[in-house]
Structure 1
């Protein structure tokens, strides 16, 4: 929920002349991650299209919960430094999945400590702490839902057993974050979504967030129109009932040719071995070939 830059700085290597942190996924050689390399999550998270789209979709759902919305919007740098916040949050996700387990555990413990310092009261008078289990469970399930649905909608469909595996695998790190009630199956995700539905609210913050995602220079200038398509694709993978409830109407819908383009790039990204990616570096750390995850897709 909060900005994790402080903790990331403690587990990442600084490079001269650069701002921010760069995490070393190559070392210690041979150290396992929290999840094994043959997990479904490793295959899903390697895809940058699914990660971007799924991440945006997850934040939309998080912001629909008033306590999470207040915590994110008033206690992080989303509004003042959206690009930096996105990079740090993306790094945290990569470390959780691909990082050596000792460093991932240290990062998660630090984030949990920082969450404990974040409390507030919503405009409606609801008190919260960022470590409240219900809120952590919501953040965890929306993240798993976003990444999984983005992969299935825009890259390739997964069988029911693999979908369940993503939630079951996600619950391992979720417990370390404090989300001990995070669902471990699609059925559990659907049940939690149903339980949380009465607590969700449409809000102007969601519109503000989406505008930030359109305007922030996340991709190079010549790819900015494509970035806009990815943001709209994120809205498109939300359940239809949720889109209606959050008043995300026709202007956020992709045209058929636009959806086809995003899907084509999603499938291409699933075959393109990105040598500098955390997924590839993690494979090298374990003595696996660079294309290990790509052969399995």
Structure 2
């Protein structure tokens, strides 16, 4: 939940500045839960690494293999800024990411050229992220209605367009349509296996909680949709009997933990200041 060194940011300022997503929307609820964020983020990456062009772009041009914790914190900060950050700061961060993506290009092992700013790939990345976070919240925190699931995709449209994902799903039905269209090209790989190994062994949580880290990774596999969940690299690596109950208890308990300095809490104070000044 904390930004990495050098990216510290006060989400409580400036007073009254709205975010890219509505403060009373479902996104603000989902992103306030650290357990759902961890699980949903892993699910999203599993789906992204199953797409050959996205996999090559992520694996060949990121620091994840060298420093997974730093990479996760940077990605998490970008997500927090997109949801909670004051609009000008969020737009500035997204523009910086787009410029960085402009340098990410190459060829997959199968000989297919790719570019990180390809709208097709951006649509998949944006869609899998929204699906992952929303489904993790739905599965482990509280049941979401169909309208709330649709809203999660609709609320992400402002940031999706800024990233260049102009065809990103705007509803749950559109997500399922994109998944069905993309499914024939999804595949397993040694990289998918390596990602699973890193997520199980890397020092992301403190050593006494490493068992919980592995549990949450299994929870992420459990909600990953077909055909990815049945890939050889993931088959049988979901939750074991009784573990879903434990994950739900952890996720629901996380909603009760006071986090006064979290981006969600700071952003709520930012908007409250506007009301107090009128």
Task: Find the aligned partners of 1:142 and 1:208 in 2 and give their Cα distance.
Answer: 20
Q: Where do 5+ consecutive residues of structure 1 fail to align?
A: 1-11, 13-17, 289-297
Q: State the superposition RMSD in angstroms.
A: 1.4
- Match of residue 282, structure 1, among 263, 267, 271: 267
TM-score scaled by length of structure 2:
0.94
Tell me which of the two structures has the higher relative contact order, counting C-alpha pairs closer than 8 angstroms and 6 or more residues apart. 2
2:228 aligned counterpart, secondary structure: helix
**4+ residue runs of structure 1 moved beyond 2 angstroms?**
18-21, 270-273
Quickly say closer, same or farther: Cα 1:246–1:160, change in 2 above 3 A.
Answer: farther
Report what 1:237 is aligned to: 223
CA contact (8 A) 2:50 2:228 kept: no
Pairing 1:1-297 to 2, within 5 Å after superposition: 19-245=5-231, 247-250=233-236, 252-287=237-272
Quickly say closer, same or farther: Cα 1:246–1:175, change in 2 above 3 A.
Answer: farther
After TM superposition, give the deviation of residue 35 of structure 1 in Å: 1.3
Task: Find the aligned partners of 2:91 and 2:6 in 1 and give their Cα distance.
Answer: 21
CA contact (8 A) 1:42 1:97 kept: yes
CA contact (8 A) 1:32 1:286 kept: yes
Task: Find the aligned partners of 2:19 and 2:200 in 1 and give their Cα distance.
Answer: 34
CA contact (8 A) 1:201 1:246 kept: no
CA contact (8 A) 2:189 2:233 kept: no
More displaced stretch, 236-245 vs 21-30: 236-245
After TM superposition, give the deviation of residue 241 of structure 1 in Å: 3.5
